[in-house]
Amino acid sequence: MRGNILIADDEEMIRGLINLTLSKEGFTCHEASSAEEGLEIVRKVDLDMALLDIMMPGRSGIELLKDMKQMSPDTVVLMITARTDIDTALSCIHHGAEDYITKPFNVDRVLLTVKNVLEKRALTLENKEYQINLEQKVREQTEVIRTVMGEINQAYEHTLAALIRALDAREKEVGSHSERVMAYATLLARQAGMDEAGCSILAKGALLHDIGKIGISDNILLKPSRLNEAEWEIMRQHPLVGFEILDGIKYFEGAAELVLSHHERFDGMGYPHGLCGIGIPMNARIFALSDTLDAMTSDRPYRKGLSFETVREEVVRCSGSQFDPKLVEVFMEIPKGAWEAAAGRELN
Protein backbone atom coordinates (compact mmCIF):
# COMPACT_ATOMS: atom_id res chain seq x y z
CA MET A 1 0.00 0.00 0.00
CA ARG A 2 1.46 3.33 -1.07
CA GLY A 3 -0.86 5.54 0.96
CA ASN A 4 -4.41 6.68 1.72
CA ILE A 5 -5.85 9.41 -0.49
CA LEU A 6 -9.13 11.28 -0.15
CA ILE A 7 -10.83 12.42 -3.37
CA ALA A 8 -13.57 14.99 -2.58
CA ASP A 9 -15.47 16.22 -5.65
CA ASP A 10 -19.19 16.53 -6.37
CA GLU A 11 -18.68 15.13 -9.89
CA GLU A 12 -18.74 11.34 -9.75
CA MET A 13 -16.97 10.95 -13.10
CA ILE A 14 -13.97 12.98 -11.92
CA ARG A 15 -13.79 11.07 -8.65
CA GLY A 16 -13.92 7.76 -10.49
CA LEU A 17 -11.26 8.76 -13.02
CA ILE A 18 -8.80 9.89 -10.35
CA ASN A 19 -9.58 6.84 -8.20
CA LEU A 20 -8.94 4.45 -11.10
CA THR A 21 -5.66 6.16 -12.04
CA LEU A 22 -4.27 6.20 -8.49
CA SER A 23 -5.54 2.73 -7.52
CA LYS A 24 -3.58 1.21 -10.42
CA GLU A 25 -0.43 2.64 -8.80
CA GLY A 26 -1.21 1.01 -5.46
CA PHE A 27 -2.84 3.91 -3.64
CA THR A 28 -5.95 3.35 -1.51
CA CYS A 29 -8.56 5.93 -2.46
CA HIS A 30 -11.56 7.17 -0.46
CA GLU A 31 -14.28 9.10 -2.31
CA ALA A 32 -16.50 11.89 -0.98
CA SER A 33 -19.12 13.87 -2.93
CA SER A 34 -19.21 16.76 -0.45
CA ALA A 35 -17.12 18.51 2.19
CA GLU A 36 -19.25 16.92 4.93
CA GLU A 37 -18.57 13.38 3.62
CA GLY A 38 -14.90 14.25 3.25
CA LEU A 39 -14.74 15.42 6.86
CA GLU A 40 -16.18 12.11 8.06
CA ILE A 41 -13.44 10.25 6.19
CA VAL A 42 -10.80 12.55 7.70
CA ARG A 43 -12.07 11.62 11.14
CA LYS A 44 -11.89 7.86 10.45
CA VAL A 45 -8.87 7.39 8.16
CA ASP A 46 -5.20 8.27 8.58
CA LEU A 47 -4.76 10.12 5.29
CA ASP A 48 -1.55 10.86 3.46
CA MET A 49 -3.12 13.13 0.84
CA ALA A 50 -6.40 14.78 -0.12
CA LEU A 51 -7.57 16.08 -3.49
CA LEU A 52 -10.32 18.65 -2.85
CA ASP A 53 -12.59 20.30 -5.35
CA ILE A 54 -12.88 23.98 -4.50
CA MET A 55 -16.50 24.37 -5.62
CA MET A 56 -18.84 21.80 -4.03
CA PRO A 57 -22.46 22.10 -2.87
CA GLY A 58 -22.80 23.10 0.76
CA ARG A 59 -19.44 23.74 2.41
CA SER A 60 -16.65 24.47 -0.05
CA GLY A 61 -13.35 22.68 -0.53
CA ILE A 62 -11.63 25.67 1.07
CA GLU A 63 -13.58 25.15 4.29
CA LEU A 64 -12.74 21.45 4.22
CA LEU A 65 -9.08 22.36 3.70
CA LYS A 66 -9.10 24.56 6.83
CA ASP A 67 -10.73 21.79 8.89
CA MET A 68 -8.24 19.20 7.64
CA LYS A 69 -5.22 21.32 8.49
CA GLN A 70 -6.45 21.58 12.07
CA MET A 71 -7.34 17.90 12.40
CA SER A 72 -4.55 16.31 10.33
CA PRO A 73 -1.78 18.86 9.69
CA ASP A 74 0.58 16.29 8.12
CA THR A 75 -1.90 15.40 5.36
CA VAL A 76 -0.91 17.14 2.13
CA VAL A 77 -3.67 18.69 0.04
CA LEU A 78 -4.06 19.33 -3.68
CA MET A 79 -6.93 21.58 -4.75
CA ILE A 80 -8.99 20.81 -7.87
CA THR A 81 -10.20 23.91 -9.68
CA ALA A 82 -11.48 25.20 -13.00
CA ARG A 83 -9.07 27.18 -15.15
CA THR A 84 -11.18 30.29 -14.52
CA ASP A 85 -10.65 30.12 -10.76
CA ILE A 86 -6.84 30.09 -10.49
CA ASP A 87 -6.75 33.04 -8.05
CA THR A 88 -8.91 31.13 -5.59
CA ALA A 89 -6.64 28.08 -5.94
CA LEU A 90 -3.59 30.23 -5.21
CA SER A 91 -5.27 31.61 -2.10
CA CYS A 92 -5.76 28.03 -0.91
CA ILE A 93 -1.99 27.64 -0.78
CA HIS A 94 -1.97 30.33 1.89
CA HIS A 95 -4.35 28.14 3.90
CA GLY A 96 -2.02 25.15 3.70
CA ALA A 97 -2.64 23.50 0.32
CA GLU A 98 0.49 22.12 -1.31
CA ASP A 99 -0.55 22.79 -4.95
CA TYR A 100 -3.52 22.68 -7.31
CA ILE A 101 -4.60 20.89 -10.51
CA THR A 102 -6.99 22.35 -13.07
CA LYS A 103 -10.00 20.92 -14.87
CA PRO A 104 -10.01 19.46 -17.43
CA PHE A 105 -6.87 17.56 -16.47
CA ASN A 106 -4.51 15.00 -17.90
CA VAL A 107 -4.53 11.89 -15.68
CA ASP A 108 -0.81 11.26 -16.24
CA ARG A 109 -0.14 14.82 -15.08
CA VAL A 110 -2.29 14.23 -12.00
CA LEU A 111 -0.43 11.01 -11.20
CA LEU A 112 2.96 12.72 -11.56
CA THR A 113 1.88 15.59 -9.31
CA VAL A 114 0.55 13.18 -6.68
CA LYS A 115 3.79 11.16 -6.65
CA ASN A 116 5.97 14.29 -6.43
CA VAL A 117 3.93 15.79 -3.61
CA LEU A 118 3.89 12.53 -1.62
CA GLU A 119 7.67 12.12 -2.06
CA LYS A 120 8.11 15.64 -0.73
CA ARG A 121 5.78 14.81 2.19
CA ALA A 122 7.78 11.67 2.98
CA LEU A 123 11.01 13.70 3.07
CA THR A 124 9.37 16.34 5.26
CA LEU A 125 8.07 13.76 7.73
CA GLU A 126 11.43 11.98 7.76
CA ASN A 127 13.18 15.25 8.52
CA LYS A 128 10.60 16.06 11.19
CA GLU A 129 11.13 12.69 12.85
CA TYR A 130 14.88 13.18 12.62
CA GLN A 131 14.57 16.57 14.31
CA ILE A 132 12.39 15.10 17.06
CA ASN A 133 14.86 12.25 17.62
CA LEU A 134 17.76 14.67 17.51
CA GLU A 135 16.12 16.96 20.07
CA GLN A 136 15.47 13.96 22.29
CA LYS A 137 19.08 12.83 21.98
CA VAL A 138 20.27 16.35 22.74
CA ARG A 139 18.05 16.44 25.84
CA GLU A 140 19.35 13.05 26.94
CA GLN A 141 22.97 14.00 26.35
CA THR A 142 22.44 17.35 28.06
CA GLU A 143 21.07 15.52 31.09
CA VAL A 144 24.06 13.15 31.06
CA ILE A 145 26.46 16.10 30.84
CA ARG A 146 24.59 17.93 33.60
CA THR A 147 24.81 14.85 35.81
CA VAL A 148 28.49 14.35 35.08
CA MET A 149 29.26 18.04 35.67
CA GLY A 150 27.33 17.85 38.91
CA GLU A 151 29.39 14.86 39.97
CA ILE A 152 32.60 16.62 38.95
CA ASN A 153 31.63 19.75 40.87
CA GLN A 154 30.69 17.64 43.87
CA ALA A 155 34.04 15.85 43.67
CA TYR A 156 35.76 19.23 43.41
CA GLU A 157 33.94 20.46 46.51
CA HIS A 158 34.60 17.31 48.53
CA THR A 159 38.29 17.40 47.60
CA LEU A 160 38.54 21.07 48.47
CA ALA A 161 36.77 20.56 51.78
CA ALA A 162 39.24 17.80 52.66
CA LEU A 163 42.17 19.99 51.66
CA ILE A 164 40.90 22.92 53.70
CA ARG A 165 40.31 20.72 56.74
CA ALA A 166 43.90 19.56 56.42
CA LEU A 167 45.12 23.18 56.28
CA ASP A 168 42.96 24.10 59.28
CA ALA A 169 44.31 21.08 61.18
CA ARG A 170 47.84 22.21 60.31
CA GLU A 171 47.16 25.42 62.24
CA LYS A 172 45.62 23.43 65.12
CA GLU A 173 42.15 24.82 64.37
CA VAL A 174 39.35 23.20 66.36
CA GLY A 175 36.76 21.93 63.87
CA SER A 176 36.93 23.66 60.53
CA HIS A 177 37.43 27.41 60.71
CA SER A 178 37.16 27.77 56.93
CA GLU A 179 33.85 25.91 56.70
CA ARG A 180 32.36 27.96 59.52
CA VAL A 181 33.47 31.21 57.91
CA MET A 182 31.98 30.03 54.63
CA ALA A 183 28.64 29.42 56.38
CA TYR A 184 28.73 32.80 58.15
CA ALA A 185 29.68 34.63 54.96
CA THR A 186 26.89 33.00 52.96
CA LEU A 187 24.34 33.97 55.63
CA LEU A 188 25.54 37.57 55.69
CA ALA A 189 25.63 37.77 51.89
CA ARG A 190 22.03 36.56 51.54
CA GLN A 191 20.92 39.01 54.21
CA ALA A 192 22.68 41.76 52.24
CA GLY A 193 20.70 40.82 49.10
CA MET A 194 23.30 38.87 47.14
CA ASP A 195 21.87 36.43 44.57
CA GLU A 196 22.53 32.68 44.69
CA ALA A 197 25.15 32.78 41.91
CA GLY A 198 27.09 35.41 43.86
CA CYS A 199 26.69 33.43 47.10
CA SER A 200 28.11 30.34 45.40
CA ILE A 201 31.23 32.26 44.30
CA LEU A 202 31.56 33.79 47.77
CA ALA A 203 31.29 30.37 49.41
CA LYS A 204 34.15 28.99 47.32
CA GLY A 205 36.33 31.98 48.08
CA ALA A 206 35.55 31.89 51.81
CA LEU A 207 36.33 28.18 51.98
CA LEU A 208 39.64 28.71 50.18
CA HIS A 209 40.63 32.05 51.73
CA ASP A 210 43.75 30.69 53.44
CA ILE A 211 44.86 28.27 50.73
CA GLY A 212 47.93 30.45 50.14
CA LYS A 213 49.23 29.42 53.56
CA ILE A 214 50.22 26.15 51.91
CA GLY A 215 53.27 28.11 50.78
CA ILE A 216 54.16 29.36 54.29
CA SER A 217 56.68 27.32 56.27
CA ASP A 218 55.69 25.76 59.59
CA ASN A 219 58.42 27.77 61.33
CA ILE A 220 56.44 30.90 60.58
CA LEU A 221 52.88 29.62 60.41
CA LEU A 222 53.07 27.67 63.69
CA LYS A 223 55.47 29.96 65.58
CA PRO A 224 54.18 30.20 69.17
CA SER A 225 55.57 33.70 69.76
CA ARG A 226 55.04 36.96 67.90
CA LEU A 227 56.35 37.16 64.34
CA ASN A 228 59.14 39.59 63.58
CA GLU A 229 58.82 42.06 60.70
CA ALA A 230 60.60 39.80 58.18
CA GLU A 231 58.31 36.92 59.11
CA TRP A 232 55.25 39.14 58.85
CA GLU A 233 56.35 40.17 55.39
CA ILE A 234 56.34 36.52 54.36
CA MET A 235 52.98 35.88 56.06
CA ARG A 236 51.43 38.83 54.21
CA GLN A 237 52.23 37.08 50.94
CA HIS A 238 49.71 34.28 51.47
CA PRO A 239 46.79 36.12 49.76
CA LEU A 240 48.97 36.56 46.66
CA VAL A 241 50.09 32.93 46.78
CA GLY A 242 46.48 31.79 47.10
CA PHE A 243 45.41 34.00 44.20
CA GLU A 244 48.16 32.59 41.98
CA ILE A 245 47.07 29.04 42.84
CA LEU A 246 43.47 29.71 41.80
CA ASP A 247 43.81 32.31 39.07
CA GLY A 248 43.05 31.02 35.59
CA ILE A 249 40.96 28.07 36.79
CA LYS A 250 37.44 28.72 35.51
CA TYR A 251 35.79 26.85 38.38
CA PHE A 252 37.33 29.38 40.79
CA GLU A 253 36.54 32.46 38.72
CA GLY A 254 35.51 35.17 41.21
CA ALA A 255 36.61 33.13 44.22
CA ALA A 256 40.26 33.97 43.53
CA GLU A 257 39.40 37.68 43.92
CA LEU A 258 38.20 37.11 47.48
CA VAL A 259 41.31 35.08 48.31
CA LEU A 260 43.47 37.97 47.11
CA SER A 261 41.57 40.64 49.05
CA HIS A 262 40.46 38.95 52.26
CA HIS A 263 42.95 40.86 54.43
CA GLU A 264 42.15 44.30 53.04
CA ARG A 265 40.59 46.83 55.44
CA PHE A 266 37.89 49.40 54.76
CA ASP A 267 40.26 52.22 55.85
CA GLY A 268 42.99 51.09 53.44
CA MET A 269 45.33 49.78 56.14
CA GLY A 270 45.10 46.13 55.05
CA TYR A 271 47.23 44.03 52.71
CA PRO A 272 48.46 43.05 50.13
CA HIS A 273 47.41 46.14 48.11
CA GLY A 274 46.04 48.58 50.67
CA LEU A 275 42.63 48.79 49.00
CA CYS A 276 39.98 50.87 50.73
CA GLY A 277 36.22 51.45 50.79
CA ILE A 278 34.21 50.08 47.92
CA GLY A 279 37.47 49.49 46.07
CA ILE A 280 37.58 46.25 48.07
CA PRO A 281 35.45 43.55 46.39
CA MET A 282 32.09 43.05 48.09
CA ASN A 283 32.92 39.37 48.72
CA ALA A 284 36.03 40.34 50.68
CA ARG A 285 34.14 42.98 52.70
CA ILE A 286 31.53 40.38 53.66
CA PHE A 287 34.26 37.87 54.48
CA ALA A 288 36.03 40.27 56.85
CA LEU A 289 33.04 40.38 59.18
CA SER A 290 32.44 36.64 58.97
CA ASP A 291 36.08 35.82 59.68
CA THR A 292 36.09 38.11 62.71
CA LEU A 293 32.98 36.44 64.11
CA ASP A 294 34.58 32.99 63.95
CA ALA A 295 38.04 34.10 65.08
CA MET A 296 36.76 35.93 68.15
CA THR A 297 34.28 33.24 69.25
CA SER A 298 36.77 30.34 68.81
CA ASP A 299 39.03 29.09 71.58
CA ARG A 300 42.72 29.89 71.27
CA PRO A 301 45.70 28.46 73.22
CA TYR A 302 46.05 31.83 74.98
CA ARG A 303 42.31 32.57 75.61
CA LYS A 304 38.81 31.15 75.58
CA GLY A 305 36.38 32.12 72.86
CA LEU A 306 34.71 35.48 73.43
CA SER A 307 30.97 36.02 73.72
CA PHE A 308 28.71 36.91 70.80
CA GLU A 309 27.89 40.25 72.44
CA THR A 310 31.61 41.07 72.67
CA VAL A 311 31.94 40.40 68.94
CA ARG A 312 28.99 42.72 68.21
CA GLU A 313 30.62 45.48 70.26
CA GLU A 314 33.91 45.02 68.42
CA VAL A 315 32.21 45.04 65.02
CA VAL A 316 30.47 48.34 65.84
CA ARG A 317 33.73 49.81 67.19
CA CYS A 318 35.58 48.91 63.95
CA SER A 319 32.82 50.08 61.61
CA GLY A 320 34.37 52.37 59.00
CA SER A 321 37.92 51.34 59.86
CA GLN A 322 38.16 47.58 59.48
CA PHE A 323 34.63 46.95 58.22
CA ASP A 324 32.18 48.37 55.68
CA PRO A 325 29.63 50.40 57.73
CA LYS A 326 26.69 49.33 55.57
CA LEU A 327 27.56 45.67 56.00
CA VAL A 328 27.97 46.25 59.74
CA GLU A 329 24.31 47.37 59.81
CA VAL A 330 23.29 44.13 58.06
CA PHE A 331 25.49 42.10 60.42
CA MET A 332 23.82 43.65 63.47
CA GLU A 333 20.34 42.75 62.17
CA ILE A 334 21.11 39.00 62.13
CA PRO A 335 20.13 37.29 65.42
CA LYS A 336 22.48 35.02 67.33
CA GLY A 337 20.34 31.96 66.56
CA ALA A 338 20.74 32.45 62.81
CA TRP A 339 24.54 32.54 63.11
CA GLU A 340 24.46 29.39 65.25
CA ALA A 341 22.19 27.58 62.81
CA ALA A 342 24.46 28.52 59.87
CA ALA A 343 27.65 27.14 61.43
CA GLY A 344 26.07 24.34 63.46
CA ARG A 345 27.57 25.41 66.77
CA GLU A 346 26.55 27.45 69.80
CA LEU A 347 27.99 30.86 70.49
CA ASN A 348 28.67 32.11 74.04
49 DSSP β-pair partners? 5, 76
3-state helix, strand, coil split of the chain in percent (to 5) is: 60, 10, 30
Concatenating the DSSP letter of every residue in 219-269 gives HHHT-SS---HHHHHHHTTHHHHHHHHHTT-GGGTTHHHHHHHTT--TTS-
Contact yes or no for 79/65 (Cβ under 8 A): yes
pLDDT for residue 36: 93
Q: What is the CA radius of gyration of the chain?
A: 39
The Cα 65–Cα 41 span in angstroms is: 13
Degrees (nearest 5) of the Cα angle 181, 262, 296? 45
| 3-class DSSP assignment, residue 144 | helix
Which residue blocks in 171-195 are alpha helix, DSSP H? 177-191
The pLDDT of residue 142 = 72
Cα distance between residue 344 and residue 42, in whole Å: 68
Q: Distance of CA 68 to CAs 97, 120, 141, 236, Å?
A: 10, 19, 37, 78
What does the alpha-carbon distance between residue 71 and residue 35 come to, in Å, rounded to a whole number? 14
Packed helices 282-297 and 196-207: angle between N→C axes, nearest 10 degrees: 50
The DSSP element (H or E) to which 5 belongs, if any, is strand 4-8
Give the span between the Cα atoms of 156 and 162, in whole angstroms: 10
CA neighbor of 283 nearest in space, from 253, 245, 314, 248:
253
Strands in 76-82's sheet, in edge-to-edge order, are 28-32, 4-8, 49-53, 76-82, 99-103
Looking at the chain, the domain(s) classified CATH 3.40.50.2300 span: 4-130
CATH number of 4-130: 3.40.50.2300
Can you give the pLDDT of all 348 residues of the chain as single tens digits? 478 999 999 999 999 999 999 999 999 999 999 999 999 999 999 999 999 998 888 888 889 999 999 998 889 999 888 766 677 777 788 888 888 888 888 888 888 888 888 888 888 888 888 888 877 887 877 777 677 767 767 776 777 767 766 666 666 554 578 889 999 999 999 999 999 999 999 999 998 898 888 878 888 888 878 889 999 999 999 999 889 988 888 888 889 999 999 999 999 999 999 999 999 999 999 999 999 999 899 877 667 889 999 999 999 999 999 999 999 999 999 999 999 999 888 888
pTM of the model: 0.56
Q: Are strands 76-82 and 99-103 parallel, antiparallel or unpaired?
A: parallel
Cα 11 from Cα 28, distance rounded (Å): 19
CA atoms within 13 A on the CB side of 67: 17
Q: CATH 1.10.3210.10 residue ranges in the chain?
A: 171-343
Residue 278 has a pLDDT of 95
The CATH architecture that domain 171-343 belongs to is Orthogonal Bundle (1.10)
| Pairing of β 99-103 and β 49-53 | unpaired
